[in-house]
Amino acid sequence: MSEFIHLHVASAFSGHYGVTRPEIMVEAAASRGESALAITDRDGLYGAVKHIGACLKMGISPIAGVDLEAVDDAGLSLGRVVVLAHGHDGGLGWSALCAIVSTAHQKTRKQQNPAIKRSELARLAVRDGVALVTVLVGNNSDVGEAALAGDRTLTAERLKNWRKAFISTRALVVEITSHLTEPGSPFCNLQANRLLQLADSMGIPTVLTNAVRYLEPDDALTADVLDAARHLEPLGMFTPQPNAQAWLKPASKMRALAIEITQDQARAKSLIETTMTLADRARLNPQNDCGWGKPKTPEKSTLGIDGNPFEVLWQKANSAIEWRYPRASDNQLASIRHRLSQELITINRLGFATYFLTVADVTQMIRDMKIRIAARGSGAGSLTNYLLGISGVDPIEHELLFERFLSTERSSLPDIDIDVESARRHDIYREIFKRYGSNRVTLLSMQSTYRGRGAMRDSGLALGLDEDQIDDIAKNMWRFSARTFRNALGTKPELAALAQSVESDRQMNLLVDITERLDRLPRHISMHPCGVILGDATLLNLTPVETSGMGLPMSQFDKDDMDPMGFLKLDVLGVRMQSAMAYAVRELERVKGEKLELDEIPRDDAETFKQIRTTNTLGIFQIESPGQRELTGKHQPTEFNDLTIQISLFRPGPMKGNMIAPYLDGRHGFATPEYLHPDLEPILRETYGVVIFHEHVLRIFNVMTGCGLAKADEFRRNLENPRLAPQVATFFKQKAREKGYTQETIDKVWATLEGFGSFGFCKAHGAAFAMPTYQSAWLKTHYPTEFMAGLFTHDPGMYPRRLLLAEARRLGVRLLPLDVNQSTDEYLVQPAPRVTTDPNEPAFGIRMALTEIQGVSEAEIKRVIEHQPYTDVADFYLRAKPSRRTLERLATIGALDQLANVDSHTRGDIVMRVRELNSVVKRPTLDPNQPMLDFTVTERMPTGNAEISTEDRVAAELAILKMDISGHILDKYRPMLDAMGVTRSDELVHLRSKTEVLVAGVRVATQTPPMRSGKRVVFITLDDGHGCSDSTFFDEAQQRCASTLFNTKLLLISAKTRRTGVRGVSLMAENAWDLKALWENWQSQQRRNAVA
């Protein structure tokens, strides 16, 4: 007997504690011939599903447990113990473990660690006198503590208390662990030996573990850094781990350890034997114990169905045909019915009828709540989804394929993702819990991992670097994996300063090393932004839950764990654009009484496409980024399908696959489309012969080999796998030959398919995205005021709000200043007073909201709204009770202007009045029985203070609101810009290619997208009040302006224009300067000139 099985192993999913990912741990154990391995993460089963999956893959038995704090009935800590689930008991052990973990999390207040009462633990550990779990009491428990102190009486008393709690069962063992520390310190041989002696004398079984935290001794360094992150203190400021012994030691070392602890060969042998016995008891059968891989859906009754779910689904879908296709011809109807039948047969064969009914039920529920909803992803390819109202995209019109979404070749539960208004997402979650019952629903969790900056920050804190220093380094970390930090030092110009200090500064050197170590380790668990798990009444027996940030229970499993566990996950994703559009529709109805069904607007509105083609796409879903704006200029979309194509092209896959240029060449007639074979022309006509969509590949396979679309999707997936691709090639070439295609055609088509690899995009995704893209463009074209109000309120895009403000001004939308009598917590559309004689002057504008005022509290905003309207400044002061700071800020930005007679009083007067009020030490309260103090009864507005210039107004707005409302930031610099001959962004489109220009503006976006060449390119977008200019910085330019590249806000850039299409122009940057510094120079020069 040479085996040893580890029963106490923390994985990297023990946040800020474990170092090694479960898969790696399992592989190591299996490769040295161990037949089982446990995972016992701290406080939860966070890594358990990945562990079980890895064990299945490597052919060893999984064992699962948890390392948990126990408390007595008074809440006093009994230290940490390990709880292992028993296996092969029909899931009783696993579900007891889940219940124990959930209970430990339930009772805790915020900021208190999860813990379970010993009495509760003992109760959950047993059922009908049979132990479902084993509790391991060892060094970290109260017993271990007393043993270390050498107090034999106390140790015995404490262990007796444990035995008493578990008296009726055999669920208790003593855990013997030594990390070979200095005699007398925790985890020394002496402590282990004392526990062993005591357990033996009391007749309690003992097991040997190594309380593992990492795979290899080298990983102990990483564990040190994680300890610092957990303690929130630098290394050296807390007691660190004693040494590097907590690794997954091989059997030989564990046997030697047993002898060292027991000092007795025979006892050592029996210690290991009991360990193996417990291991056997805890081996899990994933299928029978954890419900591994078995799909679970809500019971029929909860969906309100009786009878066969498939029949219900059949009926529901068929009866919706008339609703979705009211004008279809008989022929069309026949083909619709045919396609539906095929889909339904597949769904039935896979046993997913209940799944589709469940999703349909949820979407109907959301619609009943009057919340905007749209499907996304491959689910849009399903006619069933369209008919059930799950998706709003017609898969027949857009030539989308069901097989890309679901086929009998795969049996994993399909993903249906639903986009809803972000502002209502939590309402929906609560409603789902209510509808299906909290025993069937939990939220999904998400493990965030250490990435570049985060890894560096925690490493810096561990080394005790000061925060400013850390911030400085973080600012210059752009697009590289922290795993290759040292490598990046030599290649990235903005890291040159850091690279230099690494050479001379030992601490910086260490910083780079430990940052690389932390990279990609799990960091902490949080609520998944959109996942909801829907199951049957047994759900909570299969997953442990803890409380999420929003208060609802959340599974400890993440999205990758769903499929293996057979959990139905519904992605209900909050999309701000949906909120913004819903807001626009509501404002339209509220203010103008116009009712608008956004989902039913015609999809071929010429005005909308004209507006898109100007490339002024800020605020439009999916196509507002600098890259998409440039592509819009080149592409010039004219119909809905163009949007689908454009959205799909601008994805990492198609970009890497170099699909954009050939497509544009075909579209603009620069090249004759190559269809490879006449049979493929109908498939590829829409993209001028370029294979872009997964759907294209499926159809080509199907046409040339007759394999059927389901099989075709399997081939498409295998294409990405270098091991399987050759088989696909053989099949394709042989079948195509049989079908009579020439060798030349076959070779050409195969070369295309092979090159396609993983580069394409699913058309259903693109089409689903194109819907909100079109809808938002339509709103921007026809109802700019309402739409921009929606954007301001819900802030959906990638740009700062002040840029949207500039865009609104450019569109002629009127911006109404903050006014405490009119402003609320939303950007309301309001009637605007006439200020010009222009008959086209819009009669409505957008009232700025109170929410952007720096330092304003939600309570203050609520009070301001509640007491509106106000008669004068004092009235506002008394009833809205703003803080002194907020009151002065409101006055400074003019929000109190309407409370004073602005004809006779300046902004300066109002600010003065506010300062008077603020100087009163004790704020008077409104009391009807008390006579008012003099100064509060009558408004006494001072006079004669200076008016504030527009420039100062803008400065105040920027300081207080971070937005420029009265004018544009750049206006102030205009004299200098004009003197320098700076080009306005809206003039660029009229310039020839290779014109040398200067552009200026506020930085609104910085991007470093992945490039085909692997070289880094930096894109900087500037806003100058007339639109945006997009500059590209290649290597040389990056070197020239490394200091301004990422950190300077106001920039002047010298560049050459490059025409890229009808309305496409981009700038090849040569250099960049800090505009503010130039301004100061210029001003002092002006002054000198004036003097001279």
- Give the chain's radius of gyration (CA, Å): 34
Binding mask 796-835 for other proteins (x = CB under 8 A): ----------------------------------------
Looking at beta carbons only, is 415 or 513 nearer to other proteins?
A: 513
**What 8-state DSSP symbol labels residue 992?**
P
510 binds other proteins (CB under 8 A): yes
The tokens describing 36, both together, are: 């089982």
Count the alpha carbons within 13 Å of 608 in the hemisphere toward its beta carbon: 21
Looking at beta carbons only, is 156 or 180 nearer to other proteins?
A: 180
Looking at beta carbons only, is 183 or 740 nearer to other proteins?
A: 183
**Which segment (408-416, 508-516, 685-693, 1005-1013) binds other proteins by CB under 8 A?**
508-516
Looking at beta carbons only, is 209 or 422 nearer to other proteins?
A: 209
CB of 289 to other proteins, least distance (A): 36
CB of 464 to other proteins, least distance (A): 8
CB of 702 to other proteins, least distance (A): 48
> Which residues ranging from 173 to 232 are in contact with other proteins (CB under 8 A)?
179-183, 188, 217-218, 220-221, 224
End-to-end CA distance of the chain: 99
CB of 40 to other proteins, least distance (A): 23
Query: What sign does the dihedral 1038-1043-1044-1047 (CA atoms) show?
Result: positive
Looking at beta carbons only, is 216 or 467 nearer to other proteins?
A: 216
423 binds other proteins (CB under 8 A): no
> Which residues ranging from 435 to 464 are in contact with other proteins (CB under 8 A)?
462-464
Euclidean distance between CA atoms 939 and 872, whole angstroms: 7
Strand partners, 1017: none
> Which residues ranging from 844 to 873 are in contact with other proteins (CB under 8 A)?
none
The tokens describing 724, both together, are: 């399987």
Looking at beta carbons only, is 260 or 563 nearer to other proteins?
A: 260
Q: How many residues comprise the chain?
A: 1092
**Which segment (40-48, 59-67, 503-511, 873-881) binds other proteins by CB under 8 A?**
503-511
CB of 16 to other proteins, least distance (A): 17
Packed helices 660-667 and 626-635: angle between N→C axes, nearest 10 degrees = 30
Listed as own residue / partner, the contacts of 398-401 with beta carbons closer than 8 Å and 24 or more positions apart are 398/641, 398/644, 398/763, 398/764, 398/767, 399/686, 399/695, 399/763, 400/695, 400/763, 400/764, 400/767, 401/695, 401/698, 401/699, 401/709, 401/713, 401/764
Looking at beta carbons only, is 460 or 553 nearer to other proteins?
A: 460
Q: Is there a contact between 392 and 600 (Cβ–Cβ < 8 Å)?
A: no
> Which residues ranging from 62 to 91 are in contact with other proteins (CB under 8 A)?
none
Q: Is there a contact between 115 and 70 (Cβ–Cβ < 8 Å)?
A: yes
Looking at beta carbons only, is 60 or 188 nearer to other proteins?
A: 188
One residue of 249, 517, 569, 694 binding other proteins per CB under 8 A:
517
CB of 540 to other proteins, least distance (A): 40
CB of 22 to other proteins, least distance (A): 19
CB of 12 to other proteins, least distance (A): 14
Looking at beta carbons only, is 181 or 348 nearer to other proteins?
A: 181
Looking at beta carbons only, is 156 or 244 nearer to other proteins?
A: 244
Looking at beta carbons only, is 161 or 469 nearer to other proteins?
A: 469
CB of 175 to other proteins, least distance (A): 20
One residue of 509, 658, 758, 949 binding other proteins per CB under 8 A:
509
Of residues 1018, 1006, 1004, the one with CA closest to residue 970 = 1004
Q: How many residues bind other proteins (CB under 8 A)?
A: 30
CB of 219 to other proteins, least distance (A): 9
Count the alpha carbons within 13 Å of 219 in the hemisphere toward its beta carbon: 21
**Which segment (284-292, 509-517, 594-602, 981-989) binds other proteins by CB under 8 A?**
509-517
Looking at beta carbons only, is 251 or 725 nearer to other proteins?
A: 251
The tokens describing 155, both together, are: 């140790």
**Which stretches within 59-133 are classed as H helix?**
92-106, 118-125
Spatial neighbors of 84 by CB under 8 A, at least 6 apart, are 7, 38, 40, 63, 64, 65, 97, 133, 134, 136, 278, 282
Looking at beta carbons only, is 20 or 548 nearer to other proteins?
A: 20
Euclidean distance between CA atoms 448 and 231, whole angstroms: 19
Instruction: Provide the residue type at 955 as one letter.
Output: A
CB of 868 to other proteins, least distance (A): 58
| 54 membership: H or E segment, kind and range | helix 48-58
Of residues 193, 106, 111, 179, the one with CA closest to residue 150 = 193
Of residues 844, 827, 936, the one with CA closest to residue 881 = 936
One residue of 41, 361, 516, 561 binding other proteins per CB under 8 A:
516
351 binds other proteins (CB under 8 A): no
CB of 236 to other proteins, least distance (A): 6
Q: Is there a contact between 19 and 226 (Cβ–Cβ < 8 Å)?
A: yes
Of residues 542, 566, 531, 550, the one with CA closest to residue 417 = 531
CB of 524 to other proteins, least distance (A): 22
CB of 262 to other proteins, least distance (A): 14
Name the 3-class secondary structure at 64: strand
Euclidean distance between CA atoms 406 and 411, whole angstroms: 8
CB of 147 to other proteins, least distance (A): 17
> Which residues ranging from 461 to 480 are in contact with other proteins (CB under 8 A)?
462-464
Looking at beta carbons only, is 235 or 365 nearer to other proteins?
A: 235
Looking at beta carbons only, is 468 or 503 nearer to other proteins?
A: 503
Euclidean distance between CA atoms 648 and 635, whole angstroms: 13
One residue of 109, 110, 327, 506 binding other proteins per CB under 8 A:
506
Of residues 1050, 1079, 1076, 1053, the one with CA closest to residue 1066 = 1053
Instruction: Provide the residue type at 547 as one letter.
Output: T
**Which segment (410-418, 504-512, 593-601, 738-746) binds other proteins by CB under 8 A?**
504-512
Residue 964, phi then psi, degrees to nearest 5? -105, 110
Count the alpha carbons within 13 Å of 48 in the hemisphere toward its beta carbon: 30
904: number of Cβ within 10 Å: 9
Binding mask 232-271 for other proteins (x = CB under 8 A): ---xx---xxxxxx--------------------------
Looking at beta carbons only, is 154 or 244 nearer to other proteins?
A: 244
Residues found near other proteins in the complex (CB under 8 A): 179-183, 188, 217-218, 220-221, 224, 235-236, 240-245, 462-464, 486, 506, 509-510, 513-514, 516-517
